[in-house]
């Protein structure tokens, strides 16, 4: 049973709802400062994941080529477009004010949070580990941070943050089900590089949330698909030739 995934989805749902309900009681300065803190937390988790890498060239190639692919297919634009279409009816039904953010700022933050919740290396690896071994520790630990992150962004973005739990659950549950097929095909080195690649995305997301640099985090997502094959090719094909 995907207990860890359920807990993680509920953490986003309840955290987002709590943020919306308590948002008016939080000062703008507190919300801004906490957003910076969660940006730093994302960067810290990214760095902690990056240090596990085994083959740096494979990870770098995956990030560069994956980002190029994302740019070519305009992945971030597609996600922003879908998020905008969902946000409009939600805002009408629940009539929640988006804290004066412009549409561009709103979608900018929303896409960052979607990537943080749905595509972090910690969440993806935790789902695979949960499906293969029944160990839900990683996902439950992630849920603690996700709850407070959802609360802070729920205060400014509204109930749309709660709905992120739906694609998050679907993605993680599919990974949970496919774990028995994926993990036997991997090596520890491939998993290390996969975790490191996810860490780079989390680091970029932290920079974006903090407003330091707007990395195209959604366009970087194809790197997560490429990194394990690249790691295998690097270790089994290229290294023996060097």
Q: 194, 197, 237: which is closest to 67 by C-alpha?
A: 197
Percentage of the chain beyond pLDDT 90 is: 33
Residue 174 confidence (pLDDT) above 90: yes
In the prediction, which pLDDT does 100 show?
60
Cα 45-178-199 angle, rounded to 5 deg: 15
Give the pLDDT mean for 188-196: 90
Give the pLDDT mean for 201-206: 87
Percentage of the chain beyond pLDDT 70 is: 93
Locate the domains of the chain by residue range.
3-241
Characterise 186 by phi-psi region: left (phi > 0), alpha (psi -120 to 50), beta (else). Answer: beta
In the prediction, which pLDDT does 128 show?
83
- Let me know: does 122 contact 142? Beta carbons within 8 Å: yes
Residue 180: both structure tokens together: 């028995």
In the prediction, which pLDDT does 21 show?
87
């Amino acid at each position: 049973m995907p207990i860890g995934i359920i807990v993680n989805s509920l953490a986003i749902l309840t955290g987002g709802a709590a943020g919306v309900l308590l948002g008016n009681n939080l000062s703008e300065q507190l919300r801004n400062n906490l957003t910076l803190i969660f940006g730093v937390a994302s960067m810290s988790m990214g760095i902690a994941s990056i240090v596990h890498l085994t083959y740096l060239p494979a990870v770098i190639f995956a990030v560069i080529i994956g980002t190029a692919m994302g740019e070519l297919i305009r992945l971030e634009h597609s996600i922003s477009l879908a998020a905008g279409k969902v946000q409009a009816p939600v805002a009408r039904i629940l009539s929640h004010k988006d804290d004066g953010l412009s549409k561009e700022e709103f979608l900018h933050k929303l896409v960052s949070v979607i990537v943080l919740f749905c595509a972090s290396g910690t969440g993806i690896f935790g789902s695979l580990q949960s499906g293969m071994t029944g160990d839900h520790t990683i996902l439950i630990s992630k849920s603690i941070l996700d709850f407070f992150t959802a609360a802070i962004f729920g205060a400014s973005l509204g109930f749309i943050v709660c709905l992120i739990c739906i694609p998050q659950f679907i993605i993680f549950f599919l990974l949970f089900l496919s774990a028995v097929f994926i993990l036997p095909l991997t090596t520890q080195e491939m998993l290390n590089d996969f975790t490191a690649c996810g860490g780079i995305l989390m680091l970029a997301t932290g920079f974006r949330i903090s407003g330091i640099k707007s990395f195209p985090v959604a366009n970087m997502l194809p790197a997560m698909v490429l990194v394990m094959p690249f790691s295998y090719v690097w270790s089994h094909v290229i290294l023996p030739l060097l």
